[in-house]
Amino acid sequence: MGRLEWYATSILYQPGRWPYVLDRLPGPIGRKLGREFRRFEAPGLDPALVKTSGVDEWLERIARRAGLFKLGTWFDIRGNRRFGRALEREIARPDPFALWGFDFSSREAFEAGRRQNRTCILDRTIGDHRALNRAMAELQAQWPDWVGIKSDPISEDMLQQQDAEYALADVIVTGSRSCADTVAAESPVPGVADKLRVLPYCFDETRFGSQPAPAPVRKDEPVRFLLVGHLGPRKGLHLLLQALDHLPPDKFTLTLLGEVSSPPATFARFADRVTHIPHVPRAEVPGIMARHHVLVFPSYFEGSAISLLEALASGLALIQSPMAGNGVTPACGLMLHEQSIEAVAEAMLVPIQDRDRLNAWRVAAQAESANYTFAKYRERIGTLLDSLPA
């Protein structure tokens, strides 16, 4: 498009720069750091346009990996505010450009942008946090053994932060209609519904654009199910694992890709029935997806899960909840009619019992992924930008 003025972020893998040079350390330490750093690669981005700022993102990730979730949240909030203030000089430049910022890191940048009469576009990557608070409270009440350490609700300060971003934005883009609907329904900001635009996400074609065509799943081989993400009750992990009790054990396998946030004692009851891969570089995800047949995603709350689109491109059938976002169609999988153990098990039995239907879903999935290419996303962004006042 040639319309990017600059791109600011906290973390981006840039070989040769600190701290990424640490992947050159000898032995397993260097290899482990290299795998971690490559999770933040962006091969198609011009390094000359990239501006990185702050150490708080790294401190947040270290704290969360250590199980210090409240400390991680504190670093996240502090880092987001510092990030916006650090950009004020760039925002004050005389060049004409709009600001495109993401949720919970844009308030300070948008305030600076408003002082320069810049158009501000908020990319809201998840539904409104008032709705999230309700969803998590219900999960805590219904499934306390799976939630583990009681998570505090999103604070009133953070709710005010999201509303301030809504108010400062000229346009609010969301990845799915379900995400937009939560903002319109929950926020008290006047006129917020009129600012909303649905801009479906794309998958990364540099990684998922050349996935092999799905080979037919034979009747004598198990169906390989997959769940990807930060794995806990919000993703529906408790439904998926308990649904296994209703499935013929020799007819399927299940792989969990991502960190499990549910208590170890609860997860341990199912650990010997699944393959768990806690962390991998992004570059390894396409290969993992290509070795599976169905992505199961019974999430309670998202913006729009990009892993659904990556699964389509990889030729996986989808079983998902409505709140998961864009992805499934009747041609390539099943939308869950409710979020229950029985509904998840019933849906998983369909591809186990009907391989012809499964194979048709997988072929249709790759065809459906053509609606979520980078070219389509760029086209939609261009249309949005062209619709804004000059």
Each residue's pLDDT tens digit, 61-93: 777 777 777 787 777 777 767 766 677 788 888
d(CA 152, CA 156): 11
> What superfamily would CATH give domain 208-372?
Glycogen Phosphorylase B; (3.40.50.2000)
- Tokens standing for 180? 């937009």
Q: Is 360 left (phi over 0), alpha (psi -120 to 50) or beta?
A: alpha
Pick from 14-18, 25-29, 248-252, 367-371: least confident: 14-18
52: β partners:
9
**Percentages helix, strand, coil for the chain, rounded to the nearest 5?**
50, 15, 35
231: β partners:
260
Which pLDDT value is given to residue 183?
98
Distance from chain centroid for Cα 344 = 21
d(CA 72, CA 79): 10
What is the DSSP pairing of strand 171-174 with strand 120-124? parallel
Residue 361 to residues 35, 214, 308, 339, 378, Cα–Cα distance (Å): 33, 10, 14, 22, 27
295: β partners:
226, 318
Which pLDDT value is given to residue 56?
65
Share of the chain above pLDDT 90, in %: 69
Q: Is 357 left (phi over 0), alpha (psi -120 to 50) or beta?
A: alpha
Question: Could you check whether 7-204+374-387 and 208-372 share the same CATH topology?
Answer: yes
d(CA 261, CA 147): 8
> Domain spanning 7-204+374-387 has what CATH number?
3.40.50
The reported pTM is: 0.83
Q: Is the previous residue joined to 281 through a cis bond, with omega within 30 degrees of 0?
A: no
Which pLDDT value is given to residue 390?
65
Pick from 79-88, 139-148, 335-344: least confident: 79-88
Residue range 93-102: mean pLDDT, rounded: 90
Q: What residue segments make up the domains of the chain, in order of their start?
A: 7-204+374-387, 208-372
Beta carbons of 198 and 176 less than 8 angstroms apart: yes
d(CA 209, CA 374): 10
